[in-house]
Amino acid sequence: MNSLLQASAESSPRSALAALLAGVVIVLIAACSGASALATPVATTHVDLPRSYRFAPEDISIQVGNTVTWTNNDSFTHSVKFDGSDEVQMMKPGESVSRDFPTAGLYSYICTLHPNDMHGTVLVKPVADGETKLN
């Protein structure tokens, strides 16, 4: 009886610590794996295409009425094509393309030449009262 009490008194703080550490590890894993999916879009109307094969930043946020410009600073030809649209805007190295966003929503796009590597989103937010437009 006495030894049983001793054993449980000893193991209890250790198991509590082990449970706490396990919890911390789980939280860290969740934070790391979710980081890219939960990344906050960058407030900008300019998307760069640096070397190589990517849109930077991939996820942007703008306001209704803004125009977004993509500039190809890579040494390969790329394009911008939005989901649900047939229009493909091609960009040779050094060229830019633009698109107006008159309606709020989340718009996804790809480069039709490299759809696995190159994709991005434009979050178009309504302009709140008293807020000034970006451009």
Residue ranges in contact with Cu ion by CB under 5 A: 78, 111, 113-114, 118
Tell me 50's DSSP state: -
> What is the closest distance, in whole angstroms, from the C-beta atom of residue 68 to Cu ion in the complex?
17
Nearer to Cu ion, 99 or 114 (CB): 114
CB 75, min distance to Cu ion, A: 11
- For residues 18 and 25, the answer to whether their CB atoms sit within 8 Å is no
Nearest approach in angstroms of CB 101 to Cu ion is 21
Q: Considering beta carbons, is residue 10 or 117 the nearer one to Cu ion?
A: 117
Contact 107, 68 (CB under 8 A): no
Query: In this structure, what token pair is assigned to residue 3?
Result: 């030894």
User: Which tokens sit at 125?
Assistant: 């937010």
Nearer to Cu ion, 14 or 92 (CB): 92
Token pair 């030449």 is at which residue?
Answer: 113
